[in-house]
Homo-oligomer: A and B are copies of this chain.
Amino acid sequence: MSLIVQKFGGTSVGSIERIEQVADKVSRFRAEGHDVVVVVSAMSGETNRLIALAHQIQDRPVPREMDVLVSTGEQVTTALLSMALNKRGVKAKSYNGSQVRILTDDAHTKARIRDIDDERLHADLDKGYVVVVAGFQGVDEHGNITTLGRGGSDTTAVALAAALKADECQIYTDVDGVYTTDPRMVDGARRLDRITFEEMLEMASMGSKVLQIRAVEFAGKYNVPLRVLHSFEEGPGTLIALEDSSQMETPTIAGIAFNRDEAKLTVVGVPDMPGIAHRILGPIGEANIEVDVIVQNVEHDNTTDFTFTVSRGDLARAEEVLKKVAEDINAEEVRSDNKIAKVSIVGVGMRSHAGVASQAFAALAEVGINIQMITTSEIKISVIIEEKFLELAVRSLHSSFGLSKEPQNESPA
């Protein structure tokens, strides 16, 4: 018997029928003797319905009231799921963020969790209740309702698992696990039985949208074993946890991630002097544009080229900001390109295995793909290439690193 936190997203609770299916699943875990805490999102469509109501009144509604409004969505789901569990003879009790007490800061619509009071939940678990908690929301120290921002329900689940010292945090989704790469692109893509927090972070940030980055960070920080599972299909899913020290040899590479939503900006002929990176990226940050890859090469002739990538939707705005900056710093010109994509090779095994980079570059060269930019981290190598070569690059790398092989077996908690 163990304590499990299970999180079901909006699609998994999108109708009464689906809520009943979730209740069936939760009941089975309860019947096996586990203590269960369930975290739910709003029924799919509900949050957007509420936001649309607000936008009929104001383009930018007061954030405090926005939180009061949208937090009702999850509360509705908690009540309905508790009813469905009670109907099955499973004692269940709903909690909203304020009732648990999920204490957050007061940054409405994007609050951060500060503390979770586990007393009431533990008391109810001890009495045999399944506890159903509204995801995505909390309360500030003055009792105002806050929300954690889009995808915050994953974060709620992980934070609860950490606070309650749960044995596992299960995130139910519309996929049956984390894959070596997108199965729609590569036939041989396979589900990973296990992946480390760091690898998952790199995969997630690279466009593998299974989990919110924030939730993975949180889970890694508090060492909460996370498992990604399919809501309505049986299967072991993928366990996201610390490196498995019982395995003699870690596979070198976990997977190949990629992201099409990239556009590249280069400031050419930048005078090479201290503080120049800040003078370029400062105004971009102030314009609320998120920057992804940044590359600056060594200077020659006292100037350098400064390149970074942004989301395609931000390209026009970023270019505008940058043209002004280029003038201010006496740079030559600003070039942009939105026909690019990013491919990343991710794996903790990379740390101890030399030659991963060269193997990757060789694989790309073999199929004639030119690399525009390279960045590396401890467990990741990313390359920016022409978008039209994306599929070819992913398939070549997936095959070059032998990712289609069958993994060792492993079963869920």
Interface residues of chain A, those whose CB is within 8 Å of chain B, are 16, 19-20, 50, 53-54, 56-58, 61-62, 64-66, 68-69, 71-72, 75-76, 78-80, 82-84, 86-87, 93-94, 96, 98-99, 120, 143-145
Question: Which B residues touch A54, using CB under 8 A?
Answer: 79-80, 83
Partner of A65, one of B50, B56, B94: B94
Evaluate whether A83 and B62 lie within 8 angstroms (CB atoms) in the complex, with A16-B57, A75-B68 already known: yes
* B72 with A75: CB separation less than 8 A: yes
Among A64, A71, A76: residue with most chain B CB under 10 A? A76
Min CB gap A9→B, angstroms: 18
CB of A23 to closest CB in B, whole Å: 9
- Chain B residues near A82 (CB-CB < 8 A): 62, 64-65, 68
Contact B61–A76 (Cβ < 8 Å)? no
Contact B83 A58 (CB under 8 A): yes
The one of B57, B61, B79 in contact with A66, judged by C-beta atoms closer than 8 angstroms, is: B79
A83 and B98: CB pair below 8 A? no
Q: Give the chain B neighbours of A19 by CB distance below 8 A.
A: 57
On chain B, the residues within 8 Å of A87 by CB distance are 57-58
Cα separation A83 to B64 with both chains bound (whole Å) = 9
Q: Once the chains are docked, how many angstroms separate the CA of A87 from the CA of B72?
A: 22
Contacts of A71 on B, CB cut-off 8 Å? 75
Residues of B near A80 (CB, < 8 A) are: 53-54, 57, 65, 69
Could you list some 10 contacts between A and B, CB below 8 A? A57-B80, A62-B82, A65-B80, A65-B86, A68-B78, A69-B76, A69-B83, A72-B72, A96-B145, A99-B145
Contact B61 A69 (CB under 8 A): no
Which single member of B61, B64, B75, B94 contacts A93 (CB below 8 Å)? B64
By a CB distance below 8 angstroms, the chain B residues around A66 are: 79, 83
A69 to B64 Cα, complex, angstroms: 21
A20 contact set on B, CB distance < 8 A: 57
- Contact, CB under 8 Å: A84 / B57: yes
Cα(A79)–Cα(B65), bound, Å? 5
Least Cβ distance of A133 to chain B in Å? Answer: 12
Q: A68: which B residues are within 8 A, CB to CB? A: 75, 78-79, 82, 94, 96
Q: A56-B16, A68-B78 are in contact. Are A83 and B61 (CB under 8 A)?
A: yes
CA distance A143 to B72 in the complex (A): 17
| A64 contact set on B, CB distance < 8 A | 82, 93-94
Q: List B contacts of A75 (CB < 8 A).
A: 68-69, 71-72, 75
Q: How far is the CA of A69 from the CA of B43 in the complex (A)?
A: 13
Given A16-B53, A53-B76, A80-B53, decide whether A99 and B65 contact each other with a Cβ distance below 8 A: no
Docked-complex contact A99 and B53, CB < 8 angstroms: no
20 other A-B residue contacts (CB within 8 Å) besides A58-B86, A65-B86, A72-B76: A16-B53, A19-B57, A53-B80, A57-B83, A57-B84, A58-B83, A61-B83, A62-B82, A62-B83, A62-B86, A64-B82, A65-B94, A68-B78, A68-B82, A72-B72, A72-B75, A75-B75, A96-B145, A99-B143, A99-B144
Instruction: List the 10 shortest-distance A-B pairs measured between CB atoms, nearest first.
Output: A69-B79, A72-B72, A68-B79, A16-B56, A65-B79, A65-B82, A61-B83, A57-B83, A62-B86, A68-B94
Q: In the bound complex, what is the Cα–Cα distance between A23 and B86 (angstroms)?
A: 41
Please, how many angstroms separate the alpha-carbon atoms of A78 and B54 in the complex?
11
**How distant is the Cα of A78 from the Cα of B69 in the complex, in angstroms?**
8
> Given the complex of chains A and B, what is the CA–CA distance between A84 and B72 in angstroms?
18
Q: A61 to chain B: closest CB distance in Å?
A: 5
Instruction: Give every chain B residue within 8 A of A143 (Cβ-Cβ).
Output: 99, 120
Question: Within 8 Å CB of A65, what residues of B?
Answer: 78-80, 82-83, 86, 94
How many Å from the CB of A14 to the closest CB on chain B? Answer: 12
Residue among A61, A68, A84, A98 with max Cβ neighbours from chain B (10 Å): A68
CA–CA, A61 to B66, complex, Å?
Answer: 29
